[in-house]
Amino acid sequence: MRKFIHIAIMFVMALAFINNPFTDQYVSGLKQETGAVPVSKSKDLLYEEITAKKDEYSIPAQDAKIDRVWKAIPGLNGIEVDVEASYKKMKSEKKFNEDKLVFKQIEPKVKLKDLPPSPVYKGHPEKPMVSFIINVAWGNEYLSGMLATLKEHNVSASFFLEGRWVKNNPELARMIMDAGHEVGNHSYTHPDMKVISSAKTREEIQKTNDVIEATMDEKLSKPITWFAPPSGSYRDETVKIAAEKDLGTVMWTVDTVDWKKPSPDVLINRVLSKVHNGALILMHPTDSTEKSLDRLITGLKQKNLQIGTVSELLSEKRIQNRENNNQDFGKNNNNNIN
């Protein structure tokens, strides 16, 4: 009888353990975890595949440097696959799709601003962009036509304004700014910066900054960043003084020589035969330039070159070609870039 009672007690205890709600939760949890394994594993495999392949699409960043011939050359951002963003775009299909890769830009360790003061003659040679440097100290009658052509092509240029010209032509100066173009410093009286004194150099640069800022007032969307020495004449101290004023010194790689009044065909051929990635193209408001500008812009675009401001060209940021969306990043040139 006593043995029977022991067996009965053990049976009741076992039954109670099995029907315990904590036991039910534990077993239920095991079932859920077991059921979730295939889904989690599927997600992990896709994530791991993107991670494993990302190096195939990576491009290292390039530091800015001082070249013995070309002086300061800007750096260029690197490219890296954004694994999380790419995974989110692919997870609905649950398979790797190269066309849905998303990229992010990686900044170089050394940027143009980190270099000692040195003039800039061109942008990075792997960046498919050029910039118009338009020095303005005269040629008022051609400005409206040039601005209209730039607007028609949705092109932004960098206008380097002589301070004395701005003082005498505030309406035209505002018209340039209103059109969304970048404005730079071109000295006040157009002197030979290579031979004037340090004090005079400071005066020329500061006075021009002051008159531009006063004329533009709230229209000046960003501080003046660049200085273009008249006739490209400077000495090392000129560049250092400009840097003291937080201005980079800009030269050019391709000259239209428009002041010699070439025919449009000659001017266009001169530029298109010499142009390259990163070219800074010098021009002025002249009859030759006004008549050439439309065809020149078209020719540059046909060479798959974007046209941007000096600041855009000399930045480290990579670009996408507006025409075919495939120029400047990744192994597969058809993706998103951040």
Q: Which domains does the chain have, with CATH numbers?
A: 45-112 (no CATH), 117-314 (3.20.20.370)
Percent of the chain with pLDDT over 70: 80
> Is 0.85 surpassed by the pTM of this model?
no
**Short-list 160, 156, 139, CA closest to 147:** 156
pLDDT of residue 44: 80
pLDDT band at 320; cut points 50, 70, 90: low
pLDDT in tens, 101-121: 999 999 999 999 999 999 999
Average pLDDT over residues 217-237: 88
Mean pLDDT along residues 299-307: 98
Tokens describing residue 109? 């360790």
* 53, 116, 144, 247, 286 from 243: Cα distances, Å: 44, 9, 32, 5, 30
With a CB cutoff of 8 Å and minimum separation 6, the contacts of 75 are: 61, 62, 63, 64, 65, 108, 110, 111, 112, 124, 316
Average pLDDT on 281-293 reads 98
- Average pLDDT score over the chain: 87
Write the burial class of residue 269 (CB in 10 Å: 0-12 exposed, 13-18 middle, 19+ buried).
Answer: middle
Q: What is the pLDDT of residues 242-256, one digit of tens each?
A: 999 999 999 999 999
List the structure tokens of 18: 């099995």
- In angstroms, the CA 150 to CA 121 distance is 23
CB contact burial 162-200 (16+ within 10 A = b; e otherwise): bbbbbbebbebbbebbeeebbbbbbbbbbbebeebeeee
Over residues 60-76, the mean pLDDT reads 97
Q: What is the mean pLDDT of residues 292-310?
A: 98
Please give the residue that has the higher pLDDT: either 203 or 22. Answer: 203
As a whole number of Å, the end-to-end CA separation of the chain is 82
* For residues 159-187, average pLDDT: 97
